[in-house]
Structure 1
Amino acid sequence: MWWSYEPYVQEMDVWLDIFESMVVVAPLENGPPPEFWSPYRNSERLSVIPYQKNKGWGLNQKKTSIRDIPMMVSALVKGITSTDAFHLRTPGNISLLGLFLAPLLQKRVCAKYAGQWPSYPGEALSYRVQKALLRSFWFHGPVTVYGQWMNQPNHIIPFFTSVMNTEQVRMATKVAACRVLHNPIRVLFVGRLTKSKNVHILLDALSQLEKEKVSFECRIIGDGPEKQALEVQAKQQLVDSYNISFTGGLPFEEVLSNYEWADVLILVSETEGWPKAIAEGMTYGLVCIGNNRGLVPQMLEQERGWVVEPGNSEALVNIIKRITQYPDQYCEISKRAALWAKKYSLDSLRDAIRELLIQEWKLPTSSLRPSVKKINK
């Protein structure tokens, strides 16, 4: 049985629903799987071509070196030439190599850019190179990106993703229909605890709210290299630091329960592609505060939430205060958010991918299976 990181597995299971089998080019680890990983639903139809073994995972994963490149190229060539189609998940080290090889060796190619598609300050050179290759005539298949952007080639396709199935969306919609603002206000963060996620800015804002006598409860869900520093910051800046709890990483079902608990979700990272936490929170009727970059402004436009400049703790303070002062406005925003978000489920993702590939690869409309028996990831 094959295992991987739970949100990734949920999305890849959608591809396994579309194709007879799937081959994954990836590092391979001996078991047991780490916490919060999950098995593929149809592991018997999946195989792995490893380019490195026992590389480690999460924070302990070894960085890719030049010495790894020959093994990566060998694995990619084997994967590309042994399957009927090839999908690249970018950006990444392996995908950078794949962008040169796949169009050369495979007729049916497609790609997903799982990050912020517009350029941004401090963007890595390798990310800019991968975007340029994906935009160019060299890549002759559809490329799905988060959001609708001006002046893009025809093969750049606005798209979405999801890790909630139809039943989970249905339950979230029921919760959203009954949502009311709590007192004290309940604030939630869901994501990896890295510097770029700006959780320290959220703590700065909460510290200021405490000084202004605005009551709140906050849960910070996730793990990462900044966790210890953030816990220290909370204790140093807040008198009542017990109002903030760091849960660490949680199983997806427990994350969903926290969406039900919360009033507001805050995710003001330096950069975001399609922030799943915001999409999930909106489905539950949470009022979300995101950054003003990438796709987030499109998600929260038309008064479905608020956006702020990353690093602006004062803006966070003012928005949270406004929410507490106008509970009726909160409920209206919550309803608009839930109405927009409920259409994004794993099932709708599956249908959208199938329709896209049938159209772009000119396959029979009835099914992909007669023409494409395997797809490589």
Structure 2
Amino acid sequence: MRFSVFTHVVHKKKTQKVFAYAPYIREMNLWISKASEVRIIGPLEDSELDSIDSPYKHSNLNLVEVPSLYFKSFLGVIRSLVMMIPAIITIFREMRAADHIHIRCPGNIGLLACIIQIFFPGKNKTAKYAGNWDPNSSQPWTYNLQRKILNSPFFSRNIKVLVYGEWNYSSRNIVPFFTASYSNKEIKSFSKDFSPPYKYVFTGTLAEGKRPLLAVKVIQELINRGFNISLDVYGKGDKSSDIIEYINEYGLQDKIKLYGNQKPDVIKKALRNAHFVILLSRSEGWPKTLAEGMFYGCIPISTNISCVEWMLGKGERGILVEPTVDKAALEIETYLHSLQKLNVMSKKGQEWSQKYTLEVFDKEIKKLI
């Protein structure tokens, strides 16, 4: 079977292997494990490997390069319009030769693939929509267009579209799904001592959409209210310099530390030693950092977006907060005064998260291919 993946994820080539962002690769290695031939249609970047990069694991895998498309600046629009024609030709050619078409959304390559797959109604297809499927959420028009095409049995045929959460107005194309990070072998009961000093962890890209600076300010407010708290930040992004500048400006170097991108074992150790994992994003699909924290007994703190309310059991397995410093700090503070509540939340979170392992994920994927 020729399994063709259409993705906006940026790839790197080193020592005849193809690398990309580790959490994405971990999932994709399960998707491609039973294919005899794999074609990855996506962007290629000539840069050094990062500690968070991992390789695809397949003996017959080829990367077919298409350019990254950007529409956030005038020059980006001009360049992308020029490069779009060869990208369309490449995607069409690869879809025609594929036995199974797998589309990763949302993204600009995913958008082109969503449109072009319309011309292949008889092909076996799957799509993974890794963003927020909530039809009432405010998102770019390109994201909305991808959702409408994928949700339509008229335009998208012979396809299963994996989305996070269960939503109204979903067609027969849609399959509520999940993602996984850890194995059955790692399941155990993690007991936390919910007493000060409290350790918080942020893991993920330091980008505007994830509002890492807001998380820093909430921790600062809790410190100002007299709580013995620290925050460890793992990840890189456009907001790294802003966070460093803020920490230096307010003298928070002893309480808030940035560690950049780290290997999975480092993150696991951080989660085992932490009490809380915090993520105050504007939009998410399935926020892995929350599920990963819950797996190790951390209590998740998050804004109520996408399927997060369901993940957190409407507040039984975690703390839902408003995206403002004062309101978020006040809500968190109410829980810091109840050791019993924290212990119950931690246990419920572990029980829920440890149901979604890589083995379960692999089993469910095999039903779709």
State the TM-score bracket (shorter-chain normalisation): 0.7 to 0.9
TM-score, normalization by structure 1: 0.86
TM-score, normalization by structure 2: 0.87
Instruction: Classify 1:230/1:157 alpha carbon distance in 2 versus 1 (closer, same or farther; 3 Å).
Output: same
Is 1:48–2:63 an aligned residue pair?
A: yes
Encode CA deviations 1:98-147: one digit per residue, 9 max, x unaligned. 11212313521121111000145541110111111111121111111000
Secondary structure of the corresponding residue to residue 65 of structure 1: helix
Q: What is the count of residue pairs matched by the alignment? A: 343
Encode CA deviations 1:160-181: one digit per residue, 9 max, x unaligned. 11122333x42xx34x2x2221
Deviation at 1:35, TM superposition (A): 3.6
- Give structure 2 stretches of 5+ with no counterpart: 1-16, 70-75
Secondary structure of the corresponding residue to residue 217 of structure 1: strand
Amino acid of the residue matched to residue 20 of structure 2? Answer: S
Secondary structure of the corresponding residue to residue 87 of structure 1: strand
The 8 Å contact of residues 182 and 263 in structure 1, kept in 2 or not, is answered as no
Amino acid of the residue matched to residue 57 of structure 2? Answer: R
Amino acid of the residue matched to residue 281 of structure 1? Answer: G
Deviation at 1:34, TM superposition (A): 3.7
Q: Distance in 2 between matches of 1:81 and 1:286?
A: 46
Q: Distance in 2 between matches of 1:230 and 1:210?
A: 17
Residue 81 of structure 1 corresponds to which residue in structure 2?
96
Q: Distance in 2 between matches of 1:316 and 1:188?
A: 16
Residue 318 of structure 2 corresponds to which residue in structure 1?
305
Is 1:340–2:329 an aligned residue pair?
A: no
Correspondence for 2:150 among 118, 134, 139:
134
The 8 Å contact of residues 291 and 307 in structure 1, kept in 2 or not, is answered as yes
Encode CA deviations 1:73-115: one digit per residue, 9 max, x unaligned. 1221221122211011111111111112123135211211110
Which runs of structure 2 are paired with 1:204-353 in the superposition (5 Å)? Answer: 204-237=217-250, 239-302=251-314, 303-309=316-322, 311-353=323-365
Q: Cα RMSD between the aligned structures?
A: 2.1
Residue 71 of structure 1 corresponds to which residue in structure 2?
86
- Give structure 1 stretches of 5+ with no counterpart: 56-61, 358-377
Residue 165 of structure 2 corresponds to which residue in structure 1?
147
Residue 114 of structure 2 corresponds to which residue in structure 1?
99
Secondary structure of the corresponding residue to residue 274 of structure 1: coil
Amino acid of the residue matched to residue 181 of structure 1? Answer: F
Which is helix-richer, 1 or 2? 1
The 8 Å contact of residues 161 and 274 in structure 1, kept in 2 or not, is answered as yes
Instruction: Classify 1:120/1:250 alpha carbon distance in 2 versus 1 (closer, same or farther; 3 Å).
Output: farther
Q: Distance in 1 between matches of 2:52 and 2:232?
A: 19
Residue 37 of structure 1 corresponds to which residue in structure 2?
53
Secondary structure of the corresponding residue to residue 2 of structure 1: strand
Secondary structure of the corresponding residue to residue 28 of structure 1: coil
Q: Distance in 1 between matches of 2:171 and 2:357?
A: 27
The 8 Å contact of residues 2 and 39 in structure 1, kept in 2 or not, is answered as yes
Percent identity over the alignment?
A: 26
Q: Distance in 1 between matches of 2:219 and 2:106?
A: 34
